[in-house]
Amino acid sequence: MKILVTGGCGFVGSAVVRLAVARGHAVVNLDALTYAGCPANVASVADSPLYRFEQADIRDRAALDRILAAHAPDAVLHLAAESHVDRSIDGPGVFVETNVTGTFNLLEAARGYWAGRGRPEAFRFLHVSTDEVFGTLPHGASRRFTETSPYDPRSPYAASKAASDHLVGAWFETYGLPCLLTNCTNNYGPYHFPEKLIPVIILNAIAGKDLPVYGDGTNVRDWLYVEDHADALLRVLEAGRPGRRYNIGGETERSNLDLVRALCAVLDDMRPLARGSHADRIVFVPDRPGHDARYAIDPARIRDELGWRPAVGFEDGLRRTVGWYLENEGWWRALTARGGVGRRRGLGR
């Protein structure tokens, strides 16, 4: 299969690119190389005859038409997006432009390409989204998000992804474009951009800085190792049913405070301090506006219909992640030097 992956130099996108090439798929990586795009993420496959790179922005419809015509993919796996909630609070415009208008452009380009090739039944358009579109769940409840949960986005980022999800569903229903949609929980692992929670904690610990936890640290997230997510996406692309939505979750709920404490325990083992514990540097900082209390995904559909389960346990995944950052200082130092990375955002002021 030849797959056009959008956002393939990002965190999740690069994991998909690496795995797809390893499994023998041809990959065309379309990435605008914004502040969060990093070609080093795909350096391990850059010389493969199965890999091609196109620098382009999904807001540029003409570029999308050109790339689809030139490479003739069998599928589009759409990951290109602005994804940082705090950045969306400070500057929502680019989230609407990229996540909504960009997805519209890609859908229209894919529809034209698909129609021009005789509407092949095997073509697929897989749109990758987030559990944040469903809003928040109460603490202490057993309820989890399912594929039929109502939408209730509570941040500009979540609202932009919700809008793009609805566009994808409408293009399937109205035009018959063979679309699939996934919603995932929080990802972690190697190559995670250093403004997200887990890499922030690891890199601050390496630098001897305070370890910030928003609010009182009770917000709960369900964590999924990024390589498991990549595996799930390829499973959906290969075996999912058009028009179907699949929730992808790790079934590993942790409060933010418990997560940071778990990271500190791993760091104490892998990079011990001369005195005390890394947990001694945990500090509570002002919360973000509208910080959702809890996310949790029920992955029963993808497990029962497609046979997918996460392979990497949470503790093992944390150790792999910490070890990767300790061994790849050159990668993250280059990114932390980029303008604005590491500055606190999303206070709504």
Which two structure tokens, joined as six digits, stand for 293?
A: 């209390």
What's the length of the chain? 349
Cα–Cα distance for residue pair 126/109, rounded to 1 Å: 14
φ/ψ of 139, rounded to 5, equals: -60, 145
157 classed as catalytic: yes
- What value does the CA radius of gyration of the chain take, rounded to a whole number of Å? 20
Residue 215 CB partners (closer than 8 Å, separation 6+): 284, 286, 287, 291
Q: Which of 51, 113, 157, 225 is catalytic?
A: 157
> Residue type at 165?
D
Cβ contact 13:7 at 8 Å? yes
Asked if 222 and 252 count as a contact pair (C-beta separation under 8 A), the reply is yes
Q: In this structure, what token pair is assigned to residue 232?
A: 């799930």
Contact 58, 103 (CB under 8 A): yes
* Residue of 82, 86, 132, 231 marked catalytic: 132
* Active-site annotation holds for 132: yes
Count of beta carbons in the 10 Å neighbourhood of residue 222 = 22
On whether the CB atoms of residues 32 and 10 are closer than 8 A, the answer is: no
Options 31, 82, 86, 131, the catalytic residue: 131
Catalytic center residues: 131-132, 157
